[in-house]
Chains A and B, each alone.
Chain A
Amino acid sequence: MTNNQPAAGFFLRFLAYFNEKLIFLLLASLYLWNVSKNSTLNSVYQGIVILLVIIVFYFLLGMVYTVLFTHYFGGDIGKLLGGLRVRDQSGNKLTFNKILFRQLLSYKFSWLVFGLGFLSILKDPNKQAWHDKTVDSNVFRVQPLLPLALLVFLLTLGGSGYFLKSSFDNFLNSPVKQEVLGLVAAFQEQSKNNQKTSDQKISKQIQDQQLQVYDLMKANKIDEALKEAQLMLINSKTTSEKSISTQVIGEVYASKLDHPTAKTYFTDALKLDQNLPGAYIGLAAANIREKDFQQAIANAQKAIDLAPSRSDYYYLLGLAYYGAKDKDKAIQNIEKAIQGNPNVEEYKKTLEDIKNSTSQTTTNQTQTKTTAPAQPTGPGYTQADIKSWQDELSYINQDLSNIPKFLGNSSYDQGKLNQMSTLLDQRKAIANQIYTKMVNNQTLTTQDEQAMNTYDQLTSQYASLANQVFPRQ
């Protein structure tokens, strides 16, 4: 066959290319429009999945289709509608292998420099694109079908646009939109909750460390407990772990009677998690120590609101009320503590003491190492009052025996160690004075009260120095 037909120009080939794509787009948008008329999310989803399957097979079967159509008819539907045919340069039919290569691979070559290979049609004397040159093919205009090609272009473009817009409108006005929005909201909520859960996870390692800290505190190994608590904080990953660890450090400092530092940790723990009853109760204990009973009541109440089943919290609230000179509420709360845990002898004993106490001014905070030693001002001391001062003396003696171990070691500030030693001596003198009077059931004088205030100041100074000499990790 000799070639008498003219080679097709860029515009016509461009039109044929778009018509080919627009025909599929029209069919797809028609299908989408049909899907969009459904009123349930399930049916819309079903339609979209099927459309995806169609698209995948459009690409797969499209490869077979374009090769077969070009082989048998000289071009795909877009080209045929434009009156175009793919032939070799002489106008003869291309071999099957060349068609295969041209239709499936060589277009890629024309796309190489941003589609410059297609623009080659404009400049090339034979109106060949680069992909034509790879197989010596060309596209010829065998029929003057430009008007038909233009009509198809306008119809398919308009039709696709119309059906796509209608599909979109249908979707916006259908109940499906609400279903999708609901689903999105549920997803967002879940993501938020997942984040929350992840923040609230506490690993087994941290749980074990926490129990270890408490064991060490019970065994009166306070320095080891502090180290373990600090390690616990280092190991903490989630917000919950960090808040719990911070609280535990606060508890250790409280047991060292360093209430200012303990308070800092409890406050930090609450900044991380506002729902930590342990941190509130720690703050309440520190408030009692500072004689800020109103604040102690507020904090203990917050702790109880968060953990109403904790009987020991009622006990501390009771002590705070007693300090605030509200004997009735003190008794009421300690009774609640006993109700919650009838096996604690200390609660019963304290209740009895409060009931029997003659002076409303007596402040009674004791029970654990986390609270400050008692500061009674008159006779009728409870066993807990006496024990707290006894404990104070025991801690002081323990520290006094420990300090010489660090003296002479240049790693520790020797000057500050000496100051600590002096402060311990001063504290010991005051603690002895108060303890002796309480054991002998003697009334405390104004000087004794002043001495106890001094004792508080000395304890704070001592804690501050201890932190400098043995810094926190």
Chain B
Amino acid sequence: MEDKNWSISELYSKSWQIIKDNKILWLFGMAAVGLSSGSSRTNIKSGDIDSIRKFFQNNDPGTTSNKITQVLGASTDTFAETIKNLFFAVPIWVYVLFGLGILLLILAGIVLNLIYSAWANGALIAGVNAGTGSQKPTISQSSNNAFPAIKGLIWLNIIPTLIFFLIAAAVLGILILGIILLPSFYKAIPIILTVIAVIGAFIGWLLLTLTQIWASRRVVIDGKPGKQSFLTSFKLAKGRFWKMLGLGIVNILISLAVGFIIAFPLLIAGGITIFSVLFSKSNSSLLGFAILSVIVTALIYIFISPILFGILNSFKATVWTLAYNKIKGEYDE
């Protein structure tokens, strides 16, 4: 009978061998990582409300302040008037059309990114799976195996996550409402429940992530539909929760180590730059050296880091695929 347990060292040594022999997997690793890190963050700074205050000058409110207001008014009028005229020189429907076009472009971009991301992940898993056997993965074969899985992978990426967050938001919302609305004597109950809910949500999120890891392999390798794969993988993830968590933590540590390897030359270049800028007054050639070191490091970074991340991503995908192949079939109906 086949051993359904895995050891991390066994998975790691096999995975390393596979991705070393099949460099094509790096490409899919890069494609998958490139899109999964596509979220943008916005840092909206809060406006300085205090600055909008009534103008006041203690000593002589009737002189300088009035003059300034008059001067200001004149230039503001010219600029604002011209901009206003320019704006209304174009019919409003043109702006509406422009906005609509941008909106459609954004929507198209989101949809296309979703499909590309699913395809890249599918191709990576398919390629890794081929590499774990006797086959040599190719772009063509990996891509062809990924196409039928795109629909299932998109479902897996969106639906369970959406449901999870909706339920979590609803439960937390009700509990927070309870904290606000209940009399202070009873507040302890929703507070305790909220703490439990937060811990539960965290465990749920871990379980969801682990389920998605198994389910995506089930969709690509076994050609099962998204929903069915999710339900079976959920049982698998529950059954192997701690073992999977251990593997996940080791993977995170490896990712951090790679991140540090990538960041290290940047830190050195940053140090050289600061040192050179500080001492460039006494030696101007130092500044040139700093600029050169920054350019060289930036170039290395631009070229090397995507490849390193590609290797890392394909390595992690291989580790999980090998683990999946060990235990698959355990909960099949």
Interface of A toward B, CB cutoff 8 Å: 41-43, 45-46, 49-50, 52-53, 56-57, 59-60, 63, 97, 101, 104-105, 108-109, 112-114, 130, 133-136, 182-183, 186-187, 189-190, 193, 196-198, 200-204, 207, 210, 237-238, 240, 244, 275-278, 306-310
Of the residues A49, A52, A112, A277, contact of B27 by C-beta under 8 Å? A112
Query: Which chain B residues border A113 with CB–CB below 8 Å?
Result: 27, 30, 306-307
A104-B139 in contact (CB<8A): no
A143 to B27, CA, bound (A): 34
Query: Which chain A residues border B147 with CB–CB below 8 Å?
Result: 97, 101
A49-B94 in contact (CB<8A): yes
Of the residues B54, B75, B98, contact of A53 by C-beta under 8 Å? B98
Query: With A113-B306, A196-B68, A197-B68 in contact, is A135–B143 under 8 Å at CB?
Result: yes
B31-A109 in contact (CB<8A): yes
B68-A200 in contact (CB<8A): yes
Min CB–CB distance A252 → chain B (angstroms) = 14
B249: Cβ under 8 A from any A Cβ: no
Query: Which chain A residues border B59 with CB–CB below 8 Å?
Result: 276-278, 306-307, 310
Given contacts A202-B55, A306-B59, 14 further A-B contacts (CB under 8 A): A42-B86, A49-B94, A49-B95, A53-B101, A59-B105, A130-B139, A190-B76, A193-B75, A196-B72, A197-B55, A201-B51, A202-B58, A276-B59, A307-B63
B259: Cβ under 8 A from any A Cβ: no
Min CB–CB distance A186 → chain B (angstroms) = 4
B1: Cβ under 8 A from any A Cβ: no
Query: Which chain A residues border B60 with CB–CB below 8 Å?
Result: 277, 306-307, 309-310
A202 to B51, CA, bound (A): 9
A133-B140 in contact (CB<8A): yes
Query: With A41-B86, A45-B89, A240-B57 in contact, is A134–B140 under 8 Å at CB?
Result: yes
A112 to B32, CA, bound (A): 11
Q: Which of B111-119, B183-191, B281-289 contacts A (4 or more CB under 8 A)?
A: B111-119
Residue on A nearest B35 in the bound complex, by CB: A108
Of the residues A46, A53, A306, contact of B97 by C-beta under 8 Å? A53
B144: Cβ under 8 A from any A Cβ: yes
Of the residues B50, B64, B303, contact of A275 by C-beta under 8 Å? B64
B37: Cβ under 8 A from any A Cβ: no
Sort chain B's interface into a size bin. Answer: 35 or more
B55-A112 in contact (CB<8A): no
Min CB–CB distance A310 → chain B (angstroms) = 7
Query: Which chain B residues border A197 with CB–CB below 8 Å?
Result: 55, 68, 72
Residue on A nearest B138 in the bound complex, by CB: A133
Of the residues A60, A134, A237, A238, contact of B104 by C-beta under 8 Å? A60
B43: Cβ under 8 A from any A Cβ: no
Query: With A42-B85, A134-B143, A202-B56 in contact, is A56–B98 under 8 Å at CB?
Result: yes
A24 to B101, CA, bound (A): 18
Query: Which chain A residues border B47 with CB–CB below 8 Å?
Result: none
B62: Cβ under 8 A from any A Cβ: yes
B9: Cβ under 8 A from any A Cβ: no
A62 to B188, CA, bound (A): 60
User: Does more than half of chain A's interface fall in helix, strand or loop, or is it mixed?
Assistant: helix
B158: Cβ under 8 A from any A Cβ: no
Query: Which chain B residues border A104 with CB–CB below 8 Å?
Result: 112
Query: Which chain A residues border B300 with CB–CB below 8 Å?
Result: none
A to B CB contacts below 8 Å, 7 in the list: A49-B90, A105-B119, A112-B30, A113-B27, A113-B307, A244-B58, A309-B60
Min CB–CB distance A63 → chain B (angstroms) = 7
Query: Which chain B residues border A308 with CB–CB below 8 Å?
Result: 63
Query: Which chain B residues border A306 with CB–CB below 8 Å?
Result: 59-60, 63-64
A200 to B139, CA, bound (A): 66
Residue on B nearest A207 in the bound complex, by CB: B56
A136-B55 in contact (CB<8A): no
Query: With A45-B86, A190-B76, A207-B58 in contact, is A60–B101 under 8 Å at CB?
Result: yes
Of the residues A46, A49, A240, contact of B98 by C-beta under 8 Å? A49
Query: With A113-B27, A186-B78, A306-B63 in contact, is A108–B116 under 8 Å at CB?
Result: yes
Residue on B nearest A211 in the bound complex, by CB: B58
B34-A112 in contact (CB<8A): yes
Of the residues A42, A196, A237, contact of B89 by C-beta under 8 Å? A42
B45: Cβ under 8 A from any A Cβ: no
B82-A183 in contact (CB<8A): yes
A133-B143 in contact (CB<8A): yes
Of the residues A105, A198, A204, contact of B115 by C-beta under 8 Å? A105
Min CB–CB distance A69 → chain B (angstroms) = 18
Interface string of B113-134 (1 = CB under 8 A from A): 0011001100100000000000
A124 to B31, CA, bound (A): 21
Query: Which chain B residues border A204 with CB–CB below 8 Å?
Result: 53-54, 56
